[in-house]
Chain A
Amino acid sequence: MKENIWKEELVDAYVDDECSSHERAIVEALLREDAEAKNAADWALRLRELMAHTREETPPDFSQRLTTAIAESDAWQNYGVSRARSTTRERANRGKWIPTAVGATAAALAFVAFGLAYHSLRVERPAPTGDSTIAHEGVKDAPNSGIAYEHEPARPSIQTPASAGSPLSIEERPASQEARWATVRIADATEHRRLNNLIQRFGAKFDVDFMKFDANRELLFQGITPQAWRELRQTLEASGELEISDALQAWSADGAESERCDVRVTITFANPETNE
């Protein structure tokens, strides 16, 4: 009895892709020989497909309620003042490292020269290390967020401090960042919902950040690896007709796994009348 439960759990773990290689071999043998195990695995997959349709979204007006509550929170007293001051200091110091570095280098050279001169007088002291500390460059410019809100026009809904900079909408992002794109043409709104659920799972599985625009019809995947893209590509191809840019094709085929990039995916409908 106990062994049966263990095997059943193993089948579930296999469906969840949570097995070791040894366990996987056991389950695959089981699935070949045991109809009940096969039935359980099929059922688990069917349940997964069904549960993907239970996903819900918050109402459109909730975004405003949430961001307003955030902006008005008392918690900002702890973050804004002391940290903003140090940020201001960092920005004030930006670019001042050059004269500091020159001065430090000159001091180091003088020290080494002194040391050599001292040594030549045959005073028995250990030679100086001659190390010098170079001031680091200042904080990088805050990156543009390049993000538009899901249910709102492409402008920030919260007033930002001037120092944070203005976020770019997806249309304003530099062209080179948009070279890697894909368009998938799907049947209808139902397929769109299914695809959205699959993409959510993909994002969680591969730990990929992505932003959604225009009622989930424009997706921007940030810092994706070639392997993760290939997985995503399979998902998109299973949903509809896929077209990808030459740059994306080349990067996918030849890019090193460490070479991450942003990929923009546009979803269109085969029948425009079924667009939501």
Chain B
Amino acid sequence: MNDEELIEKTLAGDKEAFGLLALKYKDRVYNLALPIVGNKEDALDVVQDTFMQALAHLENFRRSSRFYTWLYRIAYNTAVGALRKRKRKPRASLEYLNEEYGDCFEAQGDAPDDDAKRRDDAAILRRELAKLSEEYRTPLILREVEGANYEQIAEILNVPVGTVRSRLHRARIALRERLERAGLKM
């Protein structure tokens, strides 16, 4: 069953239909929210709030755009709103980074096996990605993790496509500089 059919069933009062939509997109919303709010618990709250809002406003969803584009927009606004509410700067929570990656921040000394190296690289990448400004980080995540195209990113962030293009470019430059300083060999 596609999104359109699930939405129609939801509007007809079918709770399971919306549950299926939520299960389909929950991880994607989570990956968008996590770098913004900086910790897993808050990100899970954002995911839940996002679907509650989507459910409450489903009748307003215009079929001219994709459901997940509309959903991501809600998720992005919810995450940014959650951050503002807590009056935190959009930086990584060190608590989160330490909890998740512990002593993996530093690359291994001796030549590691492939898996360990990949884990180390991913840890360094997450840390440096979290330090990027929100303006650069979110388009990069939407593009590289969620596979959104420029038009979809523009719709989610409510900016022109040209702005998406230039922000992605600047995000990559900024991230490259950070990764090279952090010793990540690409």
Residues of A within 8 A of B (CB): 5, 8-9, 12-13, 16, 18, 43-44, 46-48, 50-59, 62-63, 65-67, 69-71, 73, 75-76, 78-81, 83-84, 87, 142-143, 145-147, 149-150, 156-161, 164, 167, 190, 197, 200-205, 207, 209, 211, 222-223
Contacts and interface: CB of A to CB of B under 8 A. Distances in A.
A16 B168 contact: yes
Contacts of A203: 147
Interface residues of B, number: 62
A66 B186 contact: no
B1 A70 contact: no
B9 interface: yes
Given A53-B122, A150-B23, 20 more contacts: A43-B186, A46-B186, A47-B186, A48-B144, A50-B186, A55-B27, A55-B31, A56-B34, A57-B27, A66-B19, A70-B55, A83-B13, A143-B5, A147-B20, A158-B15, A158-B16, A160-B16, A161-B13, A164-B9, A190-B114
Given A46-B186, A160-B14, A190-B115, A145 B66 contact: no
A116 B20 CA distance: 58
Given A56-B31, A70-B55, A43 B125 contact: no
Contacts of A80: 13
A222 B16 contact: no
B1 A204 contact: no
B44 A69 contact: no
Contacts of B148: 204
Given A75-B56, A209-B2, A222-B2, A83 B12 contact: yes
B23 A66 contact: yes
A10 to B, nearest CB: 9
Contacts of A202: 147
B10 A79 contact: yes
Contact of B19 (A16, A59, A71): A71
B145 A70 contact: no
Interface string B106-125: 00000000110010011001
Nearest to B161: A18
B19 A158 contact: yes
B36 interface: no
A200 B52 CA distance: 24
A151 to B, nearest CB: 9
A140 to B, nearest CB: 11
Nearest to B124: A50
Interface of B: 1-3, 5, 9-20, 22-24, 26-28, 30-31, 34, 44, 47-48, 51-52, 55-56, 58-59, 66, 114-115, 118, 121-122, 125-126, 129, 140-141, 143-150, 165-166, 168-169, 172-173, 175-176, 186
Contacts of B172: 12, 43-44, 47
Q: Which 5 A-B pairs have the closest CB atoms?
A: A80-B13, A204-B147, A201-B147, A51-B144, A75-B56
A145 B21 CA distance: 12
A150 to B, nearest CB: 6
Contacts of A18: 149-150, 165
Contacts of A76: 13, 15
Contact of B26 (A58, A81, A160): A58
A58 B56 CA distance: 23
B41 to A, nearest CB: 10
A180 B169 CA distance: 41
Given A50-B122, A54-B125, A71 B20 contact: no
Contacts of A43: 172, 176, 186
Contact of B1 (A75, A143, A156): A143
A106 to B, nearest CB: 35
A273 to B, nearest CB: 15
Contacts of B23: 63, 66-67, 149-150
